[in-house]
Chains A and B, each alone.
Chain A
Amino acid sequence: MKKNWPLWEVFVRSKNGLEHRHFGSLHAADAEMALENARDVYTRRNEGVSIWVVESKDITASNPENNGELFEPAQDKIYRHPTFYDLPDEVKHM
């Protein structure tokens, strides 16, 4: 019976000090092969020093339809930002 190789998401750290960033995806039979393929597909020109692969089906993503209830409440909480607070001009740095 035919079984297709699963899909993996690839994250690459471009250099130490930076976070791993999503680069794309690829198909591979297992995690080890996914790493090897990711190295060939996404880092042919020194783009990375570290790779993570995660099977796509293991990622839980938020639904854009819920963006309102998820993200809009933060919009009117301007008191979470430093510019909300009044300071006398004499205070140069705070």
Chain B
Amino acid sequence: MSEEQLKILEAQFEARIARDEKIEPKDWMPEKYRKTHIRQMSQHAHSEIVGMLPEGNWITRAPSLRRKVALLAKVQDEAGHGLYLYSACETLGISRDELYEQLHTGKAKYSSIFNYPTVTWADMGAIGWLVDGAAIINQVPLCSTSYGPYARAMIRVCKEESFHQRQGYEIMIKLANGTPEQKEMAQDALNRWWWPSLMMLGPTDAESVHTEQSMKWKLKRKSNDDLRQQFIDQTVPQADLIGLTIPDPDLKWNEERQSYDFGPINWDEFWQVVKGHGPCNKERMNARVGAWERGTWVRDAAMAHAEKQASKKLEKAM
């Protein structure tokens, strides 16, 4: 294809997206569009899969049957969401195996938030309330993104996710209204998860390298800073309501902006965690890679069984 032809195709492609048309797997697309989508969708899928690990530890330790079934269902949803997103990503011509390989070798990233430890039961509350809350803010605009399979997966994910945040907030309400020790536990979890949750919405607009292109492709509809402000404005009253304090001395309602002003975020910490030096990066990857490797014989056996059954069928037919 000549450079000129390529330019025409690209212009037609951009115009389709501008008209809100969806792009489907077999449609022509610029290589950069394909690569960017593989990166973002796989990162999203990996986050769902790794995101099960900090919670999995608490399933057997849930304080009641009600809490246990809810947490179990939430973790199961995360596995499901990872699978929707992996299949959507595979429509761009990358195999599941390659995607796992990228996760396991550290080539692909996942959300940095999952590299923090879950040390008390209140962390299950804080994760649902804050981490899923921030995730929903990030994900809702993706339901109308330009790549069809991604948008369809996100619609399903968003529909299922709202219970995740509610169950987390309910845990926090119960603890905040409980004994002084329980309330302290809830406050401690909020103290530890608040800042990482703000960081989860991504680097500041000035530092975000992909924003402009992603906006054009509707992979992003609002900037990181706008999403963060939205998250803060929606969450602060929820904390007030249950008598917990946001751990930010600079947090103050700004009458003029009709928004909360907030203190500086420790971006050094964010980049450290992204680069692999968070409290649990190694532990998470060891758990993930270990589970994958220990499952090898099961996958092989299932395949061998399927082949044997298929050849038996064939023999019978002959």
> Interface of A with B (CB < 8 Å)?
2-5, 7, 24-27, 29-30, 33, 40-42, 44-45, 61, 63-65
Contacts and interface: CB of A to CB of B under 8 A. Distances in A.
Given A4-B96, A41-B80, A45-B160, A25 B90 contact: yes
Interface in B58-97: 73, 76-77, 80, 83-84, 87-88, 90, 95-97
A64 B90 contact: no
B84 A24 contact: yes
Contacts of B90: 7, 25
B207 to A, nearest CB: 35
Interface residues of B, number: 27
A5 B24 contact: no
A27 B299 CA distance: 11
Contacts of B84: 24, 41
Given A5-B299, A25-B87, A26-B83, 11 more contacts: A4-B97, A24-B87, A24-B88, A24-B152, A29-B305, A30-B302, A30-B310, A33-B302, A40-B80, A61-B26, A64-B27
Nearest to B160: A45
A23 B80 CA distance: 13
B215 interface: no
Nearest to A67: B27
Contacts of A41: 80, 83-84
Contact of B303 (A5, A42, A45, A61): A5
Interface in B263-316: 299-300, 302-303, 305-306, 309-310
B302 A44 contact: no
Residue among A27, A42, A65 with max Cβ neighbours from chain B (10 Å): A27
